[in-house]
Amino acid sequence: SDFNPAGTQEAPGKTSNLIRNSSFESETDGNPARWDPVTHSGQGTFSLSNNAHTGGRAVQISSEKGGDLSWATRIRVKPHTDYRLSGWIKTEGVVKISGARGAMFNIHELQDPVVGGTPAVTGTQDWTQVELTFNTGALEFITINCLYGGWGRCSGTAWFDDVTLVHAPGSGFAGELGRVIRVVTSHYAQRGPVDSIVGTLTALKNASPDLATLVLDTLRSSWPEGVAPQITESHEAALQTLMLSLPALTRDRLLALSVRWGKEEIFRATQGAIINHLMAQVKDAETAEEDRVAAVKRLIELEDVPEVIKLTLTQVQLLSTPALASGLIDALSVSRHSDTGRLLVDAWSRLTPAARRVAVGVLIRRAEWAMALLDGVKDDRISRTDLAPEHWSQLRQNPDPRVARRANEMADTNVGISQDRAALVKALLPIAKEKGNALRGKTVFAENCAVCHLLNGQGGSVGPELTGINARDRSDILLEILDPNRSVEANYRMWTVETADGEVISGRLEAETQTTVEILDVAAQKHVIRRNDIETLKVSNNSIMPVGFEALAREDLKALIEYLAQPSE
């Protein structure tokens, strides 16, 4: 390839994400820092979007007529080493044209949609995680593409976020050797070799940590359900000796294999220490975030109990980085415990909007958890608007009739008026039917609303854009003005930051990165606060839009409704 971006990324330490600006929060001249737009064929548009998986930014690619396009970054890597590439993709109306794959991540130099690319996402899909394990061969640099099209052209829109590149288990092995070991071990395990497995395992006693981790991970993931070896006393002694010979970071893999056999009692003497080691890893703020998330998944595999779920959720706070909070919540999807959904709902007040989106995606995967989610909505612990339209659609079509029936009942129920505003709304609602002066209403809007709301290309961005509001019923428009707390979208709640030196800043949480929080106050002033400087971060269920617009003169209120109901300019 002749692609040569402005900045090549150096590979940091082994346990960290090798991609810098992996969540696209840093920008230069309107483009994400360290990433470059590339047109392989066709045409389309590249942009930064606030439609993010976590934080406040994602990259977007759109095409009406079809394009093979990518956002690309170049990374220094170690030759003959295994890496895992993963990330999140969201699509809207992505259609494959002329042999395209869809929206995906790939390694440009490998030029193979299977060996060098993740699974592709097409159609209209909410945020979906995809991943690929690959070997660098002789390469010292690779180009990672957020790829739209791929070996053909696509139309529609795709968003990409939270791209991660880390060393894969067994990455200390020279490329082809590591791949062969993984393939051979997987084929061996799939046969359920009960007669030879103990001998195979004990041969790992003097193996390197990388080899032991690679083999044990593959055996555990490939071993068939319901198949277990007969363990004699001598076998048990040999396996216990093997366990003690393994490094602490690898022992849980052997324990997980015994759990898969239903014979974890073999390691009853060391099981507690292994569980405690994983718990310590989950809680350790000095451990790489990717490793903490991986530890949660392995811990749940060993101990799928409420105490482990509570421990995980305790690590999720409003000040947690977006990647850590989302990763820990997504890791809970490994659980099968019926209480996991309820415990996640109980933690809702500690979740940022990005974390709540991930949490909803986890909760709707299991019927018991979906019922807990709907319980939270019913009890007003969760706002209805925390669930996007596509979430309500999935719930209403859930295969479990209990979930579908309840979701349909709740989705068809109108949101009630706030109790403290009911009498006021009842008295003023008839105004919506009265004719007002639209020209006067434009002035009222400019004086009272434009600092926060964008309408017909003019105004601020603190609150939701109002272009197109004329399509709504006039009574609904007035109701939103008089009772702004009736139904608040997650992104437009009031957030309050108190800094270590006593400063208090309130407004909308516009974005969050690994190191900063951005608050847009009601005067449309952006405040970027370092996480290290934050003493507390709190969220209210109330809207950033204040109550009190009933204080406007009756004629001004009528004029405002008339103006908002006019066709878009």
pLDDT recorded at residue 461: 80
Is it the case that residue 496 has pLDDT exceeding 50?
yes
Task: Quickly state the pLDDT bin for 502 (edges 50, 70, 90).
Answer: confident
CA distance linking residue 231 with residue 243, whole number of Å: 15
pLDDT one-digit tens code per residue, 431-446: 888 899 999 999 999 9
pLDDT recorded at residue 372: 97
Backbone angles phi, psi at 151, to 5 degrees: 60, 35
pLDDT one-digit tens code per residue, 372-383: 999 999 998 998
Burial 304-314 (b: 16+ CB within 10 A, else e): eeeebbebbbe
pLDDT recorded at residue 506: 86
pLDDT one-digit tens code per residue, 12-48: 334 578 998 999 988 888 889 999 999 999 999 999 9
pLDDT one-digit tens code per residue, 82-126: 888 999 999 999 999 888 999 999 999 998 777 789 999 999 998
β-strands 45-49, 58-76 pairing:
antiparallel
pLDDT recorded at residue 359: 92
String of DSSP letters for 304-370: -SHHHHHHHHHT--TTS-HHHHHHHHHHGGG---THHHHHHHHTGGG--HHHHHHHHHHHTTSHHHH
pLDDT recorded at residue 208: 86
Can you give the pTM of this predicted structure? 0.63
Handedness of CA 287, 293, 296, 297 (dihedral sign): negative
CA distance linking residue 225 with residue 525, whole number of Å: 57
pLDDT recorded at residue 413: 65
pLDDT recorded at residue 172: 60
pLDDT recorded at residue 7: 39
Q: How far is CA 241 from CA 76, 219, 457, in A?
A: 40, 19, 71
pLDDT recorded at residue 569: 65
Is it the case that residue 323 has pLDDT exceeding 90?
no
Contact residues for 210 (Cβ-Cβ < 8 A; gap 6+): 169, 170, 171, 172, 173
pLDDT recorded at residue 293: 92
Both structure tokens of 181: 């070991």
pLDDT one-digit tens code per residue, 188-236: 999 999 999 999 999 999 888 888 998 999 999 899 989 999 999 999 9
β-strands 82-97, 153-167 pairing:
antiparallel
Contact residues for 361 (Cβ-Cβ < 8 A; gap 6+): 126, 127, 330, 391
pLDDT recorded at residue 174: 52
**Residue 409 and residue 401 in contact, taking contact as beta carbons nearer than 8 Å:** no
Task: Quickly state the pLDDT bin for 417 (edges 50, 70, 90).
Answer: low
CA distance linking residue 162 with residue 52, whole number of Å: 9
Count CB neighbours of 327 within 10 A.
24
pLDDT recorded at residue 4: 35
SS3 string, 259-307, reads: HHHCCHHHHHHHHHHHHHHHHHHHHCCCCCHHHHHHHHHHHHHHCCCHH
Quote the crossing angle between the two packed helices 474-482 and 554-564, to the nearest 10°: 130
Highest mean pLDDT among 134-138, 340-344, 450-454: 340-344
Q: How far is CA 68 from CA 2, 61, 129, 136, 412, in A?
A: 17, 10, 21, 24, 41
Q: What is the mean pLDDT of residues 66-92?
A: 93
Mean pLDDT of the chain: 87
Task: Quickly state the pLDDT bin for 401 (edges 50, 70, 90).
Answer: very high
Task: Quickly state the pLDDT bin for 416 (edges 50, 70, 90).
Answer: low
**Residue 258 and residue 197 in contact, taking contact as beta carbons nearer than 8 Å:** no
Lowest mean pLDDT among 171-185, 224-238, 383-397: 171-185
